[in-house]
Amino acid sequence: MTVTLCSIMLVVFFAVMIFVGFYTRRQATDVNGFVLGGRSVGPWLTAFAFGTSYFSAVIFVGYAGQFGWNFGLASTWAGLGNAFIGSLLAWNVLGRRTRVMTQHMDAKTMPDFFGKRFNSTPLKVAASVIVFIFLIPYTASLYNGLSSLFGLVFDIPYWVVIVVMAVLTGIYVIFGGYMATAINDFIQGIIMLFGICAVIGAVLIDNGGLSEATKNLASIIGDAGWQGAYTAFLGPDPLALLFVVILTSLGTWGLPQMVGKFYAIKSEKDIHKGTVISTIFAIIVAGGCYFLGGFGRLYSDKITLNPQTGKPLFDTIIPTMLSTLPAVIVAVVIVLVLSASMSTLSSLVLTSSSTFTLDVIQPSVKKEMSEGKKVAIMRLFIVFFILISAVIAIFKDAHPEVTFIAQMMGVSWGALAGAFLAPFLYGLYWKGVTKTATVVCFIWGCGISVLQLIITLGNVDISGWGAALSYIFQSSVNSGVIAMVGGLMIVPVISLMTKKQDEKELDELFGCYEEKAETTVKEHLK
């Protein structure tokens, strides 16, 4: 019954996704339409696109399992941080200014923003290279955990799951561009909202209800040796938890696929609506995922362990928790995880292809390319990026001894946020930010992440580096936070010591905030 139910739900789900792609293809004939939906996307679609790009299978399967195991119910703070810092505060701080300034300068990507904000083509190209290097491994990580979940129901090879997901995502993104992605994100978001609520309810019932489950969790002796660690208000390691909250919440402010959602929203007045919707979505989905993961230790006798380390395989924790649930819940979860993965994958490959085409290919071509040719090149790169992500994921699964890929995935978030967050945020608000400070921040963010990668891959002994450095580089989470926070301090300091941009140029640029910036909206998009 489970197989039949899952098959029916998946067929319906895939059919809807492809239909949306074909339905929206008329709106994806030029660059503005293909990349930004004509800057005519309403608050509901934008908010759900933001949320579904934020919370992928990496969150539901990987992070929820890992941080839930490490911190217990206190991991819920990560979900609430995602809601109030990563969504509510992000929309309030970045939403209006991003939309107005990017529309004023006609910037379509984050590298394009840097190029036009600081009047520097090399800066734009450098940002594009960073996106390319660090977004691809992050894209490949979206397939993590799918094999364990599909293994609950279907007896099919992992590579088949990856290929099917990649092909179907590619179809609707290639045809419909941003608008297809936004509409499908809305549908996928609805599935995620209902799915996570259903799963939490089923898991709690399976463990005797909330009170009984919490009581059983409180009786477990923690790794630090004290009982009740996993039901404590701040968990067994509050400092480590704080770093997780900062990375997963503040980090989104510097991710191009997240910030790009503000470029496309229809009007300034829609930003307030989008803020409320996005925050509620994050509370339910992110808060729910981490809360669910907090009960992972109740299943410790069933969870697969890594034979080398003796620690759990974190991607198997959530699937193990779901293995005893009713068929209908398992079916919902399969569709939920696919929804989360496909929504984020579509956003990432669209960001990568548009960035590479508009910020690398176009500047290198001497003659002006037509709108149709630009869109065609972007579609070609979508195929390329999806293919690369699928190949990396399949290779990683077949060769787990190759740790480079997994570690690249781990540092990619920190590298992107460390490089981009500070210059982007300051660049929206402060005329005094300089090109030199931006370059230094790019080097800083990427440098910290690469150093983390070298330390991890080389098993470098950092115990002699001092307590502070040893703590920073003991995980990609910690180094990612330092990359971001360090950037926020570096950029203003360097800016005060280096050459400023032309004052008249800056006055004209920042004058856009005093104007009413509205976009003409096509009737069929209202």
**Residue 490: Cβ within 10 Å count:** 18
The pLDDT assigned to 437 comes to 97
Summarize pLDDT for 29-56 with one digit per residue, the tens. 888 888 888 888 889 999 998 998 888 7
The predicted pLDDT at position 452 comes to: 92
Helix, coil or strand: residue 181: helix
Model confidence pLDDT, tens digit, residues 320-374: 888 777 878 888 888 888 888 888 888 888 998 999 888 888 877 767 788 889 9
Task: Encode pLDDT of 94-127 as tens digits.
Answer: 999 999 999 999 998 999 999 999 999 899 999 9
Task: Please tell me the pTM assigned to this model.
Answer: 0.89
* Cβ neighbours around 151 below 10 Å, total: 15
In a domain, 32, yes or no: yes
For residue 85, being part of any structural domain is answered with yes
Q: Please indicate, yes or no, if residue 492 is contained in any of the structural domains.
A: no
Q: Select from 57, 37, 46, 54 the least CA-distant residue to 96.
A: 46
Would you say residue 501 lies in a domain?
A: no
pLDDT, the chain, mean:
87
| Mean pLDDT along residues 157-173 | 88
CATH number at residue 392: 1.20.1730.10
Confidence of residue 522 (pLDDT cuts 50, 70, 90): very low
Predicted pLDDT of residue 238: 93
Give the pLDDT of residue 401: 65
Tell me the mean pLDDT in the region 377-395. 90
| Between 521 and 179, residue with greater pLDDT | 179
What gap in Å lies between CA 62 and CA 302, rounded to an integer?
17
Residue 168: inside a domain, yes or no?
A: yes
Q: At what angle do helices 403-429 and 371-398 cross, to 10 degrees?
A: 140
In this predicted structure, which of 76-85, 224-233, 466-475 has the lowest mean pLDDT?
A: 224-233
pLDDT at 403: 64
Domain enclosing residue 83, as ranges: 2-399
Residue for token pair 């898991």: 203
Quote the pLDDT of residue 406.
65
What token pair was written down for 392? 């990396």
Q: Give the rounded percent of residues in the chain with a pLDDT score beyond 90.
A: 41
Neighbour-count burial for 242-270, b at 16+ CB within 10 Å, e otherwise: ebbbbbbbbbbbbbbbbbbbbbbbbbeeb
- The whole-angstrom separation of Cα 123 and Cα 232 is 47
On the question of pLDDT at 521 being above 80, the answer is: no
- Please indicate, yes or no, if residue 33 is contained in any of the structural domains: yes
3-state secondary structure of 312: strand
189 falls within a domain: yes
Residue with tokens 């990563």: 86
User: In total, how many domains does the chain have?
Assistant: 1
For position 124, what pLDDT does the model report? 92
The 10 Å CB-count burial string (b at 16+, else e) for 434-455 is bbebbbbbbebbbebbebbbeb
| pLDDT given at position 418 | 94
Instruction: Evaluate whether residue 461 is within a structural domain.
Output: no
Q: For residue 525, what pLDDT band results from cuts at 50, 70 and 90? A: very low
Output the pLDDT for position 402.
65
Instruction: Please tell me the distance from the alpha carbon of residue 467 to that of residue 470, in angstroms, as a whole number.
Output: 5
The pLDDT > 70 percentage for the chain reads 94
> Over 80: is that where the pLDDT of 410 sits?
no
Residue 526 has pLDDT above 60, yes or no: no
Closest CA to 118 of 438, 409, 454, 512: 438
Alpha helices by DSSP H, 141-157: 146-151
pLDDT tens track for 476-497: 889 999 999 999 999 999 999 9
The residues pairing with 41 across neighbouring beta strands, listed in sequence order, are 265
Nearest partner of 41 among 111, 109, 99, judged by Cα = 99
- Which token pair is 267? 């009007």
69-83, 218-232, 249-263, 417-431: least confident range: 218-232
Q: Exposure pattern of 360-399 as b/e (b: 16+ CB <10 Å)? A: bbbeeeeeebeeeebbebbbebbbebbebbbebbbebbee
pLDDT in tens, 194-233: 889 988 998 999 899 999 999 999 998 877 677 888 999 9
- By C-alpha distance, which of 59, 18, 499 is closest to 247? 59
pLDDT beyond 80 at 449: yes
236: Cβ–Cβ under 8 A, 6 or more apart, which residues? 70, 71, 72, 74, 222, 223, 224, 226, 229, 230
